Amino acid sequence: MSPMRSVWLSAFVLLGLLAVWEWGVRAAGIPAYTLPAPSLVVQTLAAHWGSLAASWWFTLKVTFGALALACAGGVLIAAVFALSPTLERALFPVAVVLQVTPIVAVAPLILIYVESTTAALLLCAWIVAFFPILSNTVVGLRAVDANLRDLFELYRATPWQRLALLRAPSALPYFMAGLKISGGLSLIGAVTAEMVAGAAGRETGLASRILEASFRTETPKMFAALTLLVATGVLIFWLFNALSRWLLGPWHTSESSRSD
């Protein structure tokens, strides 16, 4: 199926589901404060666009900020681990502990210890997002073809040349796999942390708006904010898929096979 056809198909299915939702709510007379119809959600979104857009922007900033830091941290630590197996053996358990501790439990503590709420949110989202990047990149940096390694040694490559021309490109597919996972996790971490924190100074993200709407029984607004969150998740997914295709498409098996 051509790409255009599959886009149309997805759109059709999505619209169909929305239509069923709209019709179902009207036919069953479900009140707006229980389950609002999609048309009402869109209306509410438009009516409160100013403040919701500002919150959306804040959530995006935290999500992508934490993701950037997770990339930096994950890649850096992975490089250190790849260069020093001793350090890796020593510190890897710490990373694992960070990974398995549920963020919902840790977030309240972080909010107490860290002064700035925005910094606390970034930290929470970072903790959730950095591990997949770290573990995947570590594997990738080690997954260098043995013959290529010999080749570089034969031509007396410097350590920097080895890192930039051999290990980094070898690690790229693994890193991208980790990045795709971490993209979604970063959003979840940002939302979870904010649910626990509540308002964050002047700016608040979508999770706070959802909480606020829930406490004030403004269910259509809850759904409007939720729609934006879902849109963000989809955006992240699509963005990193496209990035992976662009970087790996010409040469890596994970992207070159076209499945239909």
Binding segment for another protein (CB under 8 A), chosen from 61-69, 76-84, 178-186, 216-224, is 216-224
3-state secondary structure string across 76-88: HHHHHHHHCHHHH
For another protein, give the closer residue by CB, 128 or 213: 213
User: Residue 253 and residue 41: Cα distance in Å, rounded?
Assistant: 42
Q: Mark residues 155-194: x for contact with another protein by CB under 8 A, - for none.
A: xxx---x---xx--x--x----------------------
Q: Contacting another protein (CB under 8 A), which of 72, 76, 87, 151?
A: 151
Q: Contacting another protein (CB under 8 A), which of 87, 216, 230, 235?
A: 216
Residue 148: what residue type? L
The nearest distance, CB 251 to another protein, in angstroms, is 5
The nearest distance, CB 92 to another protein, in angstroms, is 27
Instruction: Name the residues that contact another protein, by CB under 8 A.
Output: 31-34, 108, 111-112, 117, 145, 147-148, 150-157, 161, 165-166, 169, 172, 196-199, 201-202, 204, 211-212, 214-219, 250-253, 256
